[in-house]
Amino acid sequence: NVQKIFEYRIMPYGEKHLLLIARDVTRLTQLEQMRKDFVANVSHELRTPLTVLNGYLEMLPSTENVPPAFMKKAFNEMRSQSERMQNLVEELLVLSRIEASSERVFEKSVNVPQMLAAIQVEANTLNKDKNHQIIFDIDTSLRVYGIETELRSAFSNLIFNAINYTPAPGIIHVTWNKQNEQAHFSVKDNGEGIPEKHLNRLTERFYRVDKARSRKTGGSGLGLSIVKHVLTHHNSKLDIISEMGVGSEFSFSFSSELSVQSSATGALEKQ
């Protein structure tokens, strides 16, 4: 029930008549609004860390009387703000690369188990001060046709989000297996859960449930929108199930045409 927006033009029609032309510009107007929102969001996201950085930099010329402990805090804060900007710019580049990508999904099969093993190493580093129990349950012979860099973004975003948003110490299950002839991936946590009203909007760019908490984790607010784009490119979609006080599960499947199981000899067989 979107309200339609029309553009009207009146033209002479013969000697005595006028012609009224109505054009449906609903979609155009929506796209223009999305573009404006996007630019406004990016500017806002960059302005906040820049304001903090500038604040500290202005103070630098008069630092003789500043206690070393304060200087240390200032440098830490400056570093974390510049990391935040770097993270945002990198995710924006990932997003625009995916949107512009004409790479064909069916050309190469991706060794997902190997990729998950590499992500597991990064996850362990991220988990150092969280101490979650992270359980990886991986079918080591299951691959998919797809684009490696994109898939890596999708898998790692969901795993890192579970680590970041689950109160420590939690339990996180990462599963990669075959279900109904389809390769299936799931990340399940026992965090606080996400209120239902947010679920439909989570994959929108810059949408966050709790802005303050998400920024503290260094999140750009683009992670799930990247996941959504990657999955669309691979003819799949993100399923989110969440229950307050119980936890959340983010999952997706690849069609049987994209799923590849290696045989006992190591040769790849298309399903």
- Contact residues for ligand ADP, defined by CB under 6 A: 157, 161-162, 165, 189, 191, 194, 202, 207-210, 214, 219-225, 248
C-alpha span between 54 and 74 (Å, rounded)? 11
**Residue whose CB is less far from ligand ADP, 131 or 140:** 131
- From the number of C-beta atoms within 10 Å of its C-beta (0-12, 13-18, 19+), residue 241 rates as middle
**Residue whose CB is less far from ligand ADP, 142 or 202:** 202
- Smallest gap, in angstroms, from Cβ of residue 126 to ligand ADP? 12
- Smallest gap, in angstroms, from Cβ of residue 234 to ligand ADP? 18
- Assign 205 to helix, strand or coil: coil
The amino acid at residue 93 is L
174: closest CA among 135, 140, 119, 141? 135
Q: Which two tokens stand for residue 91?
A: 């995710």
- Smallest gap, in angstroms, from Cβ of residue 199 to ligand ADP? 9
- Smallest gap, in angstroms, from Cβ of residue 119 to ligand ADP? 15
- Smallest gap, in angstroms, from Cβ of residue 211 to ligand ADP? 8
**Residue whose CB is less far from ligand ADP, 25 or 238:** 238
C-alpha span between 265 and 136 (Å, rounded)? 24
Instruction: Give the largest Cα separation in the chain, rounded.
Output: 86
- Assign 53 to helix, strand or coil: helix
**Residue whose CB is less far from ligand ADP, 220 or 259:** 220
**Residue whose CB is less far from ligand ADP, 111 or 251:** 251
